[in-house]
């Protein structure tokens, strides 16, 4: 049912203005009203002397129905609201009973089943199979079986014998012995009724046939095959649709994660390199180096259980080696004045060679199968091998006695060794490794392959409408060329900057897909049927009914039914805030809400919710417990104050409820503990009186301050 569009009847602003075409926005109190070309919500406007036609009255009905269905569809959704349980037929067989209930279809139509309805599932299965075969009826699949009523049925009905063969012998259709599952749906339907003949008019073209005057709303049931599992429903489906192909996204996400881990290390190392191309070594450098070699040897013994520790320790040792090798050509830090680095270099060579040999084992490569991890280890292996070759040459030619060391001020700098001029100048990769980041052409080229795959995914995602929420996404710069030899500083810097740009863009697109999916889309309505239950039929007998296949409409009565604690907490609020005075007539101190709070098991939850509310509002409450104070305005103080306000302790309640003791009773008490109790009660009573007077004085002071402030005079003056 479609209502008249705005192009035919004025504007839809609803301000009572004159008729205006939809091409030009109307004015409602000075504000314009933009309309779509297919605007469907138009309501009639009546005035005195207007000639009403059937179109005007029908438009009023169409508008009301369309708005009601719009609200039902988008505010509640399709599904079962309540009831409509499908239960077994009391006499068994192939029948079920649909109990009364209420449902909404995806168009917003109300489906009301007001009385129990009996359904013959066998007959519905036959009709279902007939539709599947394109209208061909192959006979009753339940022919020759006992019907639900206990006897056999005539031919052509459930339970009837099959037709005779050409030879004249009677042959029954063998029913299927294995179980079949069908799902029962209910659909909204309408039926015109109450025809009335129209009044005769002078119009010669007026129809003389009767016209229906009522539309009865009803329902009909149908069987279908079970719906296929659709994992793309809801917010998860929206995110998956935005991210695109699952395999492509998984590859990009894995590359982003691995590259991001390594790029963070490169960023940190490059930042240190920019501050000092040569790593500054401390006086304990050689001692630390020796300890690092020992740690590497220890971690290699536990390679199968903790492989990452061995990789990290190998990197640390290689970083120490690179730090020593990249020092200034003229000076080199030594452990002592007569230090000999030959043994340390030998130990380093042995440990690193053992480590890289272990890294080639099949068990280790199984855990480090990612090509980017392999490129990282290959880079570490290559640079370490080159450094060991240079270090062994430098260590054998380095001076080992103090006589070979130039004179220097030992109070301002550690011992130095002269490095041989034959040692080549350090390259960029060695200097970067000194800060813990091995980088060679192997890693450079592998990273380019990963980043190139990201480019294809980014371009595909940017072409999708879901990802177009950022209007100023940066243009991706061209990636650097692959490296064929030693990687220069410029190649490294380009890859780091442009790779980081792509990692950031991928992260931003993934974040946008997740954040945009939070915005719920308008539901579609391709199927108006409402699933009630799925029924399993075996040998023409209903053997199982599952009512939880349905979709429930979330309403407040439904939520209260599923979560009864909501009503219980509400009752606790009632007992706290609106208690009955009848239970406190026996006390002389008046009503104390703490006694009611102690009786309700949900009072603790209600008090916590009230405490959170009061804490967010920042409201101070009078404390009944004398041990507390308002010294702190923290949330815990407010929570404790609220608990004491609604549920004071038993001691405070008993003290407040006790009458004022007389001096005679206190002096004539026989037992000493009774005398002390009377004195304590009297002291507590006096303290309560003083507290009350103190509050009154504070109120008077506050009023005086307000009065003085209104007169513009300072109270200090």
Question: What string of DSSP letters covers 155-191?
Answer: TTSTTPPPPP-TTS---PPPPP-S-EEEEEEEEEEEE
Is there a single domain that holds both residue 665 and residue 645? no
| Euclidean distance between CA atoms 125 and 323, whole angstroms | 82
Residue 34 sits at φ, ψ, to 5 deg, of: -90, 135
- The answer to the question of residue 194 being in a domain is no
Distance CA 534, CA 491 (A): 64
Answer whether residue 167 is part of any domain. Answer: no
pLDDT for 112 equals 94
* Strand ranges inside 197-276, DSSP E: 211-224
Interatomic CA distance for residues 508 and 501, integer angstroms = 11
Q: Pick the closest to residue 503 from 466, 463, 451 (CA basis).
A: 451
- Rounded to whole angstroms, the Cα distance separating 276 from 278 reads 5
Domain of 704, in residue numbers? 661-717
User: SS3 letters for 473-527?
Assistant: CCCCCCCCCCCCCCCCHHHHHHHHHHHHHHHHHHHHHHHHHHHHHCCCCCCCCCC
Last residue of a domain, one of 637, 657, 677: 657
CB atoms within 10 A of CB 176: 13
pLDDT computed for residue 232 by the predictor: 59
Residue 436: left if φ>0, alpha if ψ -120 to 50, beta else—which one? left
Dmax (CA) for the chain in angstroms is 134
Q: Which two tokens stand for residue 607?
A: 């008090």
Helix pair 234-243, 489-517: axis angle to 10 deg? 150
- 624 and 674 fall within a common domain: no
Do 584 and 590 touch, CB atoms closer than 8 A? Answer: yes
What pLDDT is recorded for position 113? Answer: 94
Residues 711, 648, single domain; the answer is: no
SS (H, E, C) 23-69: CCCEEECCEEECCCCCCCCCCCCCCCCCCCCHHHHHHHHHHHHHHHH
pLDDT confidence of residue 21: 42
| Residue environment code for 35-73, b if the CB has 16+ CB neighbours within 10 A, otherwise e | beeebbebbbeeeeeeeeeeeeeebeebbeebeebeebb
- Using an 8 Å Cβ cutoff, are 521 and 238 in contact? yes
582 class by beta-carbon count within 10 Å (0-12 exposed, 13-18 middle, 19+ buried): exposed
Q: Give average pLDDT by consecutive 10-residue segment, the chain, 717 residues.
A: 39 39 45 65 88 89 90 90 92 90 92 93 89 78 55 39 39 58 92 84 70 87 84 78 89 91 92 89 86 91 86 92 75 46 84 89 79 89 87 58 40 39 63 91 91 88 69 78 86 91 89 86 86 90 90 89 85 75 49 51 76 74 50 53 57 44 44 61 75 80 75 55
Whether residue 392 sits in one domain with residue 339: yes
- β pairing state of 26-28 and 31-33: antiparallel
Q: Residue 530: its pLDDT value, please? A: 92
Residue 507 neighbours by CB under 8 Å, 6+ apart: 256
Are residues 591 and 665 located together in one domain of the fold? Answer: no
**SS3 per residue for 336-357:** CCCCCCHHHHHHHHHHHHHHHH
- Cα–Cα dist 73/77, whole Å: 5
Phi and psi torsions of 332, nearest 5° = -145, 135
CB 384 within 8 A of CB 319: no
Please identify which residue in the block is written with the tokens 């209903």: 542
Whole-angstrom Cα distance, residue 394 to residue 325? 9
Whether 480 maps to a domain, the answer reads no
Distance from the Cα of residue 159 to its chain's centroid: 53
For residues 442 and 482, what is the distance between their CA atoms, to the nearest angstrom?
10
Residue-wise burial string across 488-515, b where 16 or more C-beta atoms lie within 10 A, e elsewhere: eeebbebbbebbbbbbebbebbbebbee
The answer to whether the beta carbons of residues 283 and 337 sit under 8 Å apart is no
- Residue (of 503, 390, 429) closest to 273 by Cα position: 429
The answer for residues whose C-beta is within 8 angstroms of residue 329's C-beta and 6 or more apart is 419, 421, 423, 425
Domain boundary (439, 468, 489) is at 439
In this prediction, residue 161 carries a pLDDT of: 37
In terms of domains, do 577 and 680 share one? Answer: no
Tell me how far apart the alpha carbons of residues 384 and 389 are, in angstroms, rounded to a whole number.
9
Predicted pLDDT at 151: 45
- Please tell me whether residues 319 and 425 are part of one structural domain: yes
Instruction: Write down which residue in 73, 89, 104 finishes a domain.
Output: 73
Torsion of CA 186, 187, 193, 198, to 10 degrees: 170
pLDDT of residue 267: 92
CA distance 34 to 512: 29
Q: Which of 558, 532, 522, 551 is nearest to 73 (CA)?
A: 522
Domain for residue 328, yes or no?
yes
Within a domain: 415 = yes
CA atoms within 13 A on the CB side of 164: 5
Query: Per-residue pLDDT tens for 391-428?
Result: 776 555 554 443 443 433 434 333 333 344 344 445 88
Give a yes or no: residue 58 inside a domain: yes
pLDDT of residue 162: 38
Q: Taking the CB of residue 304, how many other CB atoms lie within 10 A of it?
A: 12
Same domain, yes or no: 283 and 430: yes
CA distances from 436 to 121, 178, 222, 321, 483 (A): 73, 67, 70, 11, 21
Asked whether residue 635 falls in the same domain as residue 680, the answer is no
d(CA 124, CA 97): 13
Looking at the fold, whether 644 and 667 belong to one and the same domain comes out as no
Whole-number Å distance between alpha carbons of 431 and 278: 7
Please give the pLDDT value at position 622.
64
Q: Which pTM was predicted?
A: 0.63
> Strand pairing partners for 189?
218
Q: How many domains does the chain have?
A: 4
Indicate whether 282 belongs to any domain: yes
Measured in degrees and rounded to the nearest 5, phi and psi for residue 373 equal: -65, -40
- CA 359, chain centre distance (Å): 40
Are residues 299 and 351 located together in one domain of the fold?
yes
Are 131 and 187 in contact, with CB atoms under 8 Å apart? no
Residue 626 lies in a domain: yes
Can you read off the two tokens belonging to residue 633?
A: 């305005």
Q: Does residue 580 share a domain with residue 694? A: no
């Amino acid at each position: 049912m479609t209502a008249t569009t705005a192009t035919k009847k004025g504007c839809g602003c609803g301000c009572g203005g004159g008729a205006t075409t939809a091409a030009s926005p109307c004015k409602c109190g000075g504000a314009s009203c933009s309309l779509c070309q297919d605007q469907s919500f138009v309501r009639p406007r009546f005035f005195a002397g207007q000639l009403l036609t059937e179109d005007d009255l029908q438009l009023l009905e169409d508008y009301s129905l369309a708005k009601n269905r719009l609200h039902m569809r988008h505010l509640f959704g399709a599904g079962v609201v309540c009831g409509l349980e499908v239960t077994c037929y009391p006499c068994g067989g192939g029948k079920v009973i649909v109990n009364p209930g209420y449902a909404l279809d995806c168009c917003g139509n109300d489906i009301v089943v007001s009385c129990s309805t009996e359904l013959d599932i066998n007959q519905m299965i036959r009709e279902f199979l007939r539709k599947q075969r394109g209208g061909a009826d192959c006979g009753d699949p339940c022919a020759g079986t006992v019907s639900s009523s206990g006897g056999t049925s005539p031919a052509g009905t459930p339970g009837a014998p099959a037709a005779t063969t050409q030879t004249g012998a009677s042959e029954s259709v063998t029913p299927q012995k294995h179980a079949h599952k069908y799902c029962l749906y209910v659909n909204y339907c309408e039926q015109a009724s109450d025809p009335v003949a129209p009044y005769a008019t002078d119009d010669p073209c007026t129809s003389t046939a009767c016209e229906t005057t009522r539309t009865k709303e009803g329902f009909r049931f149908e069987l279908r095959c079970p719906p296929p599992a659709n994992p793309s429903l809801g917010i998860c489906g929206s995110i998956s649709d935005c991210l695109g192909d699952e395999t492509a996204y998984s590859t990009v996400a894995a590359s982003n994660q691995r590259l991001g881990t390594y790029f963070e290390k490169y960023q940190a190392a490059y930042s240190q390199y920019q501050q000092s191309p040569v790593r500054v070594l401390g006086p304990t450098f050689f001692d630390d180096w020796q300890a690092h070699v020992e740690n590497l040897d220890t971690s290699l013994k536990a390679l199968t259980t903790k492989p990452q520790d061995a990789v990290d320790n190998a990197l640390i040792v290689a970083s120490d080696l690179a730090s020593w090798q990249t020092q200034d050509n003229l000076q080199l830090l030594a452990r002592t004045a007569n230090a000999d680095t030959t043994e340390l270099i030998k130990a380093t060579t042995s440990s690193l060679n053992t480590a890289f040999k272990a890294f080639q084992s099949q068990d280790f490569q199984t855990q480090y199968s990612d090509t980017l991890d392999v490129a990282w280890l290959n880079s570490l292996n290559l640079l370490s091998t080159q450094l060991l070759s240079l270090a062994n040459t430098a260590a054998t030619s380095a001076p080992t006695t103090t006589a070979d060391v130039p004179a220097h001020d030992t109070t301002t700098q550690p011992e130095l060794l002269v490095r041989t001029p034959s040692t080549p100048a350090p390259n960029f990769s060695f200097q970067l490794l000194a800060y813990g980041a091995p980088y060679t052409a192997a890693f450079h080229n592998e990273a380019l392959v990963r980043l190139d795959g990201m480019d294809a995914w980014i371009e595909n995602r940017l072409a999708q409408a879901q990802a177009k929420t950022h209007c100023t996404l940066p243009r991706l710069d061209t990636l650097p060329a692959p490296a064929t030899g030693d990687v220069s500083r410029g190649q490294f810097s380009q890859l780091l900057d442009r790779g980081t740009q792509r990692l950031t863009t991928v992260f931003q697109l993934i974040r946008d897909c997740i954040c945009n999916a939070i915005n719920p889309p308008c539901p579609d309505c391709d199927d108006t049927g409402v699933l009630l239950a799925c029924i399993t039929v075996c040998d023409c007998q209903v053997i199982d009914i599952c009512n939880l296949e349905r979709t429930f409409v979330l309403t407040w009565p439904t939520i209260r039914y599923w979560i009864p604690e909501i009503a219980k907490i509400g009752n606790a609020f009632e007992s706290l805030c609106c208690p009955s005075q009848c239970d406190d007539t026996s006390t002389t101190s008046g009503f104390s809400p703490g006694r009611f709070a102690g009786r309700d098991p949900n009072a603790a939850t209600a008090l916590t919710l009230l405490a959170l509310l009061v804490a967010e509002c920042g409201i101070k409450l009078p404390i009944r417990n004398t041990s507390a104070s308002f010294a702190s305005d923290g949330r815990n103080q407010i929570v404790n104050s609220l608990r004491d306000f609604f549920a004071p302790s038993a001691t405070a309640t008993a003290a407040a409820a006790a009458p004022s003791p007389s001096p005679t009773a206190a002096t004539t008490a026989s037992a000493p503990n009774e005398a002390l109790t009377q004195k304590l009660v009297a002291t507590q009573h006096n303290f309560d009186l003083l507290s009350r007077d103190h509050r009154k004085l504070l109120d008077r002071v506050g009023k005086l301050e307000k009065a003085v402030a209104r007169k513009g005079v300072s109270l200090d003056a």
